[in-house]
Chains A and B, each alone.
Chain A
């Protein structure tokens, strides 16, 4: 069944590739391709390079040199290019499946600590799974014998791959040949290296590649470093050594680019554009309209605020959830997709499988309230919904936005019967939806952690968030 769905996902991609008109119109949609990932601009960059014009000395091409040179040697109109993007998606799905399998195996051993203190087993981490095998084995046995202890239901790891491959967003991103695919693959590969083999070098290698491609994955250094830490106590050393490795690799990527291009021009044309947002082409994010409408004298300030906001919570959230690095990864991917300067649906497609890897939190995710006040004033469990209702809400926000985004864009740009506010309103909805997802994801984890750590027996009571 699952294998059939995987084949369907690949088959859909392959079947749609020959529909060139559809693919072309898809690849020019602002929701799918951004100025920093668009394949049209990649074509232009390769064309300029072929004609001995520096593509980075201009305002059109903003993608990193290694990608440019790859497509330069591959040829942008080569029939292999769409297949390459399909292959990237398949590889990403396989890696996601392996991450999920490892994560779920570890999750089996998550112990529900009852308040009576019958089982005193700390949260099981992947690396602990190996080191303290015996204890884990005990706890599993213990869990199986004690029917009063709740345990998490698990998804099949293949289902995670199916979720990625059958997601219309990732199909659209794949067909559009947006260079975001390379970024996603590098991120997934880095997490895969960290989760499945705890390999620091490969993890940092791929993470530096992802950062080289789009800056924002730099946030993931922290959770990946915690993943590869040999034990719970050595987080700091691990972070330090990972940071060193990461910087070395990143400098190597940049140095290699400089060597191949012969100048540092690309820094301003790629990273300068990501940070300073000079190209205000609409996308599903929040930056484009605010910087279009921004008063000139405050532009720099708000740029700073927006860019700092993406990174602001990386340290606190890692500290808070250091026992669940994969959760931190998922959280950072949502935050990036919401607040990065040029987000596209490919970023959304990247975090969805990671959210599903924590599907046990769905029970706790609340989608029907927007204000954080709810957490402080009233009890969370009283509003807990069942699984299906939450999925329903997710699909609702996604479908609402995915219907109205192209519609309102068309009203604004082609029909002229709507203005920019129409499209902006829907990007706000997307933003609000994702922000709510972040908040509830975190709230659910807080609640879950509390329940696991002994709060379960007090479940029937109300509880509150306190500063104690």
Chain B
């Protein structure tokens, strides 16, 4: 029996290997200011009918995948999801790369297939009856909660806080090629307060077939990674409905600063220096097509590589190393002029810029202002703005104002364009306390060379003392607004704005008992007085009950027969008449 099991296990591993498509690549790009942007990209392709785990599984279904993430996705009917766990805001993109900078905290969104599960029929989305629609919605909501809980378990992140109260269902913001929005449902949530750290990196890296034992992932040194200016872990899964394959991409986007790290204030660096005495431990054996480490150096500077292996040159500033099995890679870069240029290069100004900030003061009301700039001098741009605002900010839609101003470039005196942003559609979901957020989605066309400003006002809700986070006076983090830039035929890309920190009015956390007792005292006072007066009658007091004047009752006359008012009151009334 043992033998059979062992044999089957070996067969299983072989089957996994055969079904595994795995590739990884590392790009290190140094900017003129010395910062090095590193992008670790890992991609695996799994087949949904992999047999390996099935042997031990109780479920004889063929929709089992030898991967925690893939399995969760298949189980909850997810066809595409993206997750980002990010620390820091000083994101630098890789040249013209369209991969977006993610906001701090966690961002997760997923497309669910509407016809998943045993009870809901395959034609659920064709049903137009309201009851079914609500049922479908609840079904998607429960799958979304289940899926984020599964992700939370796999990645040790607080994604279990993703509930319908923070989730939105945008219509135009997260379109994915190959996913038909008519029979798929989208859920999006962000957890800006999520603090990402080693406990997330370790399980995330464990999802890789070689873990951190070989390949580019062997550079992962938590000390250096969490010392970076910006660090973002990405996890993307896509499962085209027709194909049995599931593609899982993992990426780690890092911005490291050798100038800050070293005492020499030079832009020279090496793997050893940037990644805290780590080197790449050779090729991951599962990356059948080999792994390249691409290095892009600062333009127009004389540089030389140090280390035993010399890179292959692609062009003026681009080089690459190919990893080999069992052969460690360690290299460094030395510049002739290693002084950093810390000025921001105006040429790197992005085409679409997004900025958001708070307005107002105090803890009662406030406003949010979103500026979207189209730097393209000639072409207008279609975008979709998505705002997901938690219920504890009460948005007043009637205060929404949209205003377009032209961008003045240096030397220009007249505005280059006078048109205003064209709002094509605007969708709004009102919030419900403790149940769902406010969602505002605006499709707009930005005129060339202009800044469009969206402003709206809100009231800060007064919430229960148990609903405040620990350290309540720090405030609540409000997730980013998302601008989806529509690029016509090609895939959209997304911009995320800053996370806002909003302080809500706080009660005194130390005195629930006091408040209950004091308020109830007032209530009891009312009850006691009125009850007494309602059930009792006024009667003359018997003489024997009237005692002598107490020594401290100085305001009373000694003659007790005269205490009951003065005859003057009667006369007063007569006079009035």
Contact = CB atoms under 8 A, between A and B. Distances in A.
A57 B391 CA distance: 13
A98 B529 CA distance: 32
A22 interface: no
A468 B512 contact: no
A292 B525 contact: no
B466 A446 contact: no
A47 B397 contact: yes
A450 B391 contact: no
Given A293-B512, A459-B565, A44 B398 contact: yes
Nearest to A269: B432
A365 B170 CA distance: 62
Contact of B529 (A288, A435, A462, A464): A435
B414 interface: no
Given A292-B462, A309-B523, A381-B563, A464 B397 contact: no
Interface string B489-503: 000000000000000
Interface stretch (B224-232, B313-321, B513-521): B513-521
Interface stretch (A159-167, A197-205, A243-251, A437-445): A437-445
B363 interface: yes
B437 to A, nearest CB: 10
A293 B507 contact: yes
Interface string B524-564: 01111110111111111100011000000000100011111
Given A60-B394, A153-B577, A381-B565, A289 B507 contact: yes
B519 A435 contact: no
Interface stretch (A168-176, A179-187, A254-262, A412-420): A412-420
B196 to A, nearest CB: 30
Contacts, number: 228
B430 A468 contact: no
Interface stretch (B104-112, B477-485, B567-575): B567-575
Contacts of A379: 541, 563-564
B506 interface: yes
Contacts of A59: 391, 394, 430-433
B67 interface: no
Interface stretch (A212-220, A227-235, A273-281, A340-348): A273-281
A316 B534 contact: yes
Contact of B530 (A296, A302, A420, A438): A438
Main secondary structure, interface of A, reads helix
Given A413-B363, A463-B539, A420 B573 contact: no
B515 A293 contact: yes
Contacts of B528: 372
B408 interface: no
Given A48-B430, A413-B364, A439-B526, A151 B574 contact: yes
Given A48-B430, A293-B512, A381 B533 contact: no
Contacts of A432: 522, 525
Contacts of B518: 428
Contacts of B515: 289-290, 292-293, 424
Contacts of B134: none
Contacts of B428: 48, 51, 53
Contacts of A152: 573
A432 B565 CA distance: 27
Given A48-B397, A152-B573, A381-B563, A462 B508 contact: no
B534 A421 contact: no
Given A279-B433, A438-B526, A439-B526, A464 B573 contact: no
Nearest to B397: A47
A1 interface: no
B7 interface: no
Interface string B393-432: 0111110000000000000000000000000000010111
B362 interface: yes
Contact of A309 (B461, B527, B538): B527
A137 interface: no
B182 interface: no
A428 B522 contact: yes
Contacts of A462: 540-541, 546, 560, 563-564
Given A290-B515, A296-B466, A435 B525 contact: yes
Nearest to A147: B574
Contacts of B537: 465-468
B355 interface: no
Interface of A: 28, 40, 43-44, 46-48, 51, 53-55, 57-60, 147, 150-153, 278-282, 286, 288-296, 302, 305-306, 309, 312-313, 316-317, 320, 335, 338-339, 363, 370-372, 375-376, 379, 381-382, 384, 412-414, 416, 419-421, 424, 428, 431-432, 435-436, 438-439, 442-443, 446-447, 450, 455, 458-468
10 contacts: A43-B396, A47-B398, A278-B433, A290-B515, A293-B515, A379-B564, A384-B565, A414-B361, A439-B533, A462-B540
Nearest 9 Cβ contacts at the A-B interface = A58-B430, A153-B576, A439-B529, A47-B398, A465-B536, A372-B529, A293-B512, A414-B362, A59-B433
Given A381-B563, A435-B522, 8 more contacts: A58-B432, A59-B391, A316-B534, A317-B534, A338-B526, A450-B538, A461-B561, A464-B541
